[in-house]
Amino acid sequence: MKALKIISPGPFTTVQDRGRFGLQQFGVPPCGMLDRHAGDIANLLVGNDPDAAVLEFTFMGGQMEALDTFCLAVTGADMGMTINSTPCAAWSTHRVTPGDRIHLGGAATGCRTYLAVSGGIDVPLVMGSRSTYTGARIGGMDGGILKAGDILARGKGRLSDIPEAIPEDLIPAYPSEIVLRAIPGPQDNFFDLDTFFNVPFTVTDKANRMGYRLQGEAVTRKPGMPKSIISEPSLPGGVQVPEDGQPIILLAEQTVGGYAKAATVISSDIPRLAQAVPGNRIRFESVSLETAHEIYMQQTNAFEKLKKMDLQAKTWAAMGKAFFDDPVFCQRIEKYMLQV
């Protein structure tokens, strides 16, 4: 079913799902939504499976025309969505009909916005994923960023008559100072980690889906340690430290690399980084592998419970203020479910 006509696409808008895995040994990176939390919630709000494809807008949105009747939800960075020039809340569902105009402007806070439609964006599966990898023209809409005149289809999905929303106090904030939890290693013995974990870094303008280059006090190598390593597999969150001592945080469009890595940002915090913009400050906090696993399981279990719940605003409001960052969020949901 034809769903959206792109009138104005924004500077870098792509189709993304949860990613393309198991192919890095062939030079194919995972790609996928950089802020998976926001993308998953957008899909949840319109009744999609988490693997459904969405649109990812970077820095600025664009204008689209609805070609069908469906529900949509926008999450992530605040781009001031309007439908037919009427302001519409993000983190909520909205029904559109043929001819409606959806507009997203520049990001007021954050960097990336996600738009989900009923049934998901329907583009061909390539190597098991609909995600776009522009570097090799793979997936998405002809392997590239969206352009004016593109027509996007959607899969079969539900149409809800009851608006669903996340109340304002549950919507993530995107501050200008971000703490990223990271596990030392795999080459942590190469570096003086006192600097790495105790001084702030600034996001430079060299920040994209491949990675974020930071600027700050140089992370120094210990005497006798090599300047590089034999190239090894790269994963999102790996913090490379090249010869100049300025860290690079790898993201979703990498396969291998030869710079030593001082630490690895935990997967649960990648969405925080995905919403950072040039000029934001970043600090690293050291955590253990066991703590990283606990945080991941808390978030995963919380989301699974959310999928089973009614998402009407009154239900969300009963949950309290916490969301993914609350260490007792799972227990709060369990307690609430016993009451309803």
Average pLDDT on 68-77 reads 96
- Other Cβ atoms closer than 10 A to 29: 26
Which part of the chain has CATH 2.40.100.10?
177-287
The more confidently predicted of residues 259 and 299 is: 259
pLDDT reported for residue 163: 65
The more confidently predicted of residues 135 and 311 is: 135
What is the pTM for the complete model shown? 0.89
Q: Are strands 93-96 and 13-16 parallel, antiparallel or unpaired?
A: unpaired
Whole-angstrom distance, CA of residue 214 vs CA of residue 212: 6
Check if the beta carbon of residue 261 is closer than 8 Å to that of residue 238.
Answer: yes
Of all residues in the chain, the percent with pLDDT exceeding 70 is: 88
Is 327's pLDDT higher than 80?
no
Is 334's pLDDT higher than 60?
no
Dihedral of alpha carbons 234, 289, 191, 272, sign: positive
Average pLDDT on 78-82 reads 97
pLDDT reported for residue 299: 86
Q: Which residues pair with 71 in a beta bridge?
A: 95
pLDDT reported for residue 166: 74
Whole-angstrom distance, CA of residue 248 vs CA of residue 196: 12
Is 309's pLDDT higher than 90?
no
pLDDT reported for residue 162: 62
Secondary structure letter of residue 133 according to DSSP: B
Please provide the CATH number assigned to the domain covering 177-287: 2.40.100.10
Is 72's pLDDT higher than 70?
yes
Is 320's pLDDT higher than 50?
no
Which of 171-180, 207-216, 263-272, 310-319 is least confident? 310-319
pLDDT reported for residue 167: 67
Average pLDDT on 75-84 reads 97
The more confidently predicted of residues 172 and 54 is: 54
pLDDT reported for residue 303: 76
pLDDT reported for residue 331: 47
pLDDT reported for residue 337: 41
